Structure 1
Amino acid sequence: MDAAALLKKYFSNEAALEIVLKHSRLVADKALEVAGGLGIPIDLKFIEEAALLHDIGVSRVHAPKMFCFGSQPYICHGITGREILETEGLPRHAMVCERHIGVGLTAEDIRRQKLPLPARDMVPLSLEEEIICFADLFYSKIPDSVTVMKSREEVRASLEKFGEGKITIFDRWYARLCPQPECASGCPA
């Protein structure tokens, strides 16, 4: 499977494609570093492919600063990505798309925030999904800062507005996936 070719198939705007390709490559590299540092058998091929494709749904959202002019609100890029990858015959990769927003969205989050999403849990379930979601938190798709990795505290601060529970999930992942301040997987302190 050629992830770059699949992304090119869905992104009509070259600038948007470039942003998502850069972002996704950084997320994939970070996810592979984290997975490799765990010292357990894990599906690295899947992690790389799914990380490269996790934002394919951005191709259909309205985010002018990212050169995306679709009809969907940005928050819908996860479920839109799921639809795209299911159509492409990649159901396992599709679930990464749906479950990668923040540290995951619960049905209660969706109802409470009145998000334009189906009211169901969309949280990472497998270790591979958690690793990709975790890696994604360290990189943005803001054009001027795509290649800048956020610190642990910057990630925590970005989750703060969604409640202490989201920070707790991140802290739990951090402790499990990056057990030392300067661990082999390159997690920032």
Structure 2
Amino acid sequence: MNPLALIDRYYPPGTLAHAVLLRHSTRVAARATAVAARLRCPVDLPFVEEAALLHDIGILYTDAPELGCSGTLPYLAHAYKGRELLESEGLARHALVCDRHIGVGLSAAEIAARHLPLPARDMFPVTLEEQIVTYADLFFSKNPQENDRERSFAEVRSSVERYGAEKLQILDAWYERFGP
């Protein structure tokens, strides 16, 4: 499976959306594979790299002109739309990473209570590989104004903290396991 060829199929090279997605995803993939390589337990390293490259493939369906995306859906929808796209490509395992990578994860109850534009189902990263990609994603924005700057853990922690103590506990546990 060639994740870059798949990205090129949905995002024409030379477009802003292609550049933004590729820049962000390659940064996330580099961090995720570095985290995976440090762990002293079995990790599917090729899968981590592929999933990190594809985790945001659903942004093309969103209304995010600053990212070169002219879809009609709210930005959060990129998670489940990415899942649908990758499932249609026969990549069910990769699709779950798309679906479950928002923040440190979302519960069905939280989605309903906050009226988020997502299916009302649990969307937590379950497997070690899903958690690694989700963790790595927290350190990078797709906003072109950030110029590929990697956020510090303190910045990531501050961002997650506003969603509650439970989310912060998940992040802190990941930091303990995956490192800075």
TM-score normalized by the length of structure 1: 0.91
Distance of 1:146 and 1:48 partners within structure 2: 22
Distance of 1:87 and 1:30 partners within structure 2: 27
Q: Structure 1 runs of 4+ off > 6 angstroms?
A: none
The alpha carbon displacement at 1:33 in A equals: 0.4
The alpha carbon displacement at 1:39 in A equals: 2.2
Distance of 2:160 and 2:126 partners within structure 1: 19
- The yes-or-no answer on 1:141 pairing with 2:142 is yes
The one-character-per-residue Cα deviations of 1:124-181 (angstroms, maximum 9, x if unpaired) are 0000000000000000000021511101110011112212211111011101111xxx
Distance of 1:146 and 1:16 partners within structure 2: 15
The alpha carbon displacement at 1:7 in A equals: 1.1
* 1:2 alignment counterpart: 2
Instruction: Give the conservation status (yes or no) of the 8 Å contact 1:8–1:17.
Output: yes
Distance of 2:61 and 2:147 partners within structure 1: 20
The one-character-per-residue Cα deviations of 1:57-96 (angstroms, maximum 9, x if unpaired) are 0011111111111011101100000000000000000000
Distance of 1:85 and 1:32 partners within structure 2: 21
Any residues of structure 2 matched to 1:172-183 within 5 Å, and which?
Answer: 172-178=173-179
Distance of 1:75 and 1:160 partners within structure 2: 19
Letter in 2 for 1:176: R
* 1:53 alignment counterpart: 54
Any residues of structure 2 matched to 1:20-169 within 5 Å, and which?
Answer: 20-169=21-170
Distance of 1:164 and 1:21 partners within structure 2: 33
Distance of 2:106 and 2:161 partners within structure 1: 14
Distance of 1:168 and 1:118 partners within structure 2: 24
Letter in 1 for 2:148: T
SS of 2:121's partner is coil
The alpha carbon displacement at 1:11 in A equals: 2.1
What runs of 5+ residues in structure 2 fail to find an aligned partner? none
Distance of 1:138 and 1:130 partners within structure 2: 13
SS of 1:98's partner is helix
Distance of 2:147 and 2:133 partners within structure 1: 17
Any residues of structure 2 matched to 1:6-21 within 5 Å, and which?
Answer: 6-12=6-12, 14-21=15-22
Distance of 1:2 and 1:54 partners within structure 2: 14
Letter in 1 for 2:109: E
Moved more, 116-125 or 89-98: 116-125
* 1:171 alignment counterpart: 172
What runs of 5+ residues in structure 1 fail to find an aligned partner? 179-186
The one-character-per-residue Cα deviations of 1:14-40 (angstroms, maximum 9, x if unpaired) are 111101101000101100000111122
**Corresponding pairs, count:** 179
